[in-house]
Copies of this chain bind each other. A is one copy, B any other.
Amino acid sequence: MSTQINYAAEAATQYIEVNGNNYAYRQFGKKSGIPVIGFQHFTGTLDNWDPIILNGLAAEREVIIFDNTGVGNSSGETPNKVADMTHEAVAFIKALGISQFDVLGFSLGGFIAQYLVQDYPDLVRKLIIVGAAPQGSKVLEEFPQLIGKAMQKTPIERFLFIFFTPSEVSRSKGMATLQRLYARTVDRDQEANEKAIMAQMKAITEWGTDPVTIDLASIKHPVLIIQGSDDEMMDSDNSYLLFKQLPNAVLSYYPDSAHGSFYQYPELFVNQASDFLNNF
């Protein structure tokens, strides 16, 4: 890894105006046919992607990360529905001139991934879904309470509480992840503001209560599902249920890990994701 280019630290933030909103994004990596586009978690911005993962994926393909409407350095009003977030992301992606891409959807981004492939099947080649759940997963009704509990903690403890397990090993991996997320010192993104956070919270909670409109059984695209053994937010069992409904999915669980499974095992994830995108 030492000879890899540190795209995560060096890629400049770029902007493009779409439908009156200014979208912040970073585009980097080895030029290849199909880029992989990252869809970020609740409150996450350009700076919440793990550099090991960005650099690992970018060694073999073009990677694009972006702030969706109203998040981080992107302007506009954050929608409070996953479907609308999906449509606005597609407008941004099309504005970049991209006609087909692979999806890396983390948490909320994994919900958008499911909408994307149903509503825009020709735009998507393959999907990677990390730490997510199918539409209608009851556990998400408890999401506001879980976040409320998290908000009472210090920022570091909040990060560990959400993304890692209480074990010493997992917490130490969490601290290492935090260091990686703050390794980039220039041109950092703004944190999500309260308005964006409230809209996202509504969208995530309603993912659990909305009527199921996504027919997972009809999705023929290759999917790689990644989850931790102990994701309280999504309930880890939900990834198995997602796998069972999708006809062409590979599912992997990582040990002693929570919502941030791929933060905890970034090299394992890069190996799996790259092999999946290259060869599956």
Q: Are A229 and B243 in contact (CB under 8 A)?
A: yes
Q: Are A275 and B279 in contact (CB under 8 A)?
A: no
Measured as residues with beta carbon below 8 angstroms from the partner, the interface class of chain A is 20 to 34
Of residues 233 through 255 on chain A, the ones whose CB sits less than 8 Å from some CB of chain B are: 240, 243-244, 246-255
Copies per assembly: 2
CB-contact partner of A268 in B243, B249, B250, under 8 A: B250
Q: Are A267 and B279 in contact (CB under 8 A)?
A: yes
Q: Which residues of the partner chain B approach A267 to less than 8 Å between Cβ atoms?
A: 279
With an 8 A cutoff between CB atoms, is A256 at the interface? yes
State the Cβ distance, A126 to closest chain B Cβ, in Å. Answer: 13
Q: Which residues of the partner chain B approach A249 to less than 8 Å between Cβ atoms?
A: 255
Q: Are B271 and A275 in contact (CB under 8 A)?
A: yes
Nearest B residue (CB) for A275 = B271
Name A's B-contacting residues (CB within 8 A).
229, 240, 243-244, 246-256, 267-268, 271-272, 275, 279-280
Instruction: Show 17 residue pairs from A and B whose CB-CB distance is below 8 angstroms, ordered by the A residue.
Output: A229-B243, A240-B253, A243-B253, A243-B255, A249-B255, A250-B252, A250-B254, A251-B251, A251-B253, A252-B252, A252-B253, A268-B275, A268-B279, A268-B280, A271-B271, A271-B279, A272-B275
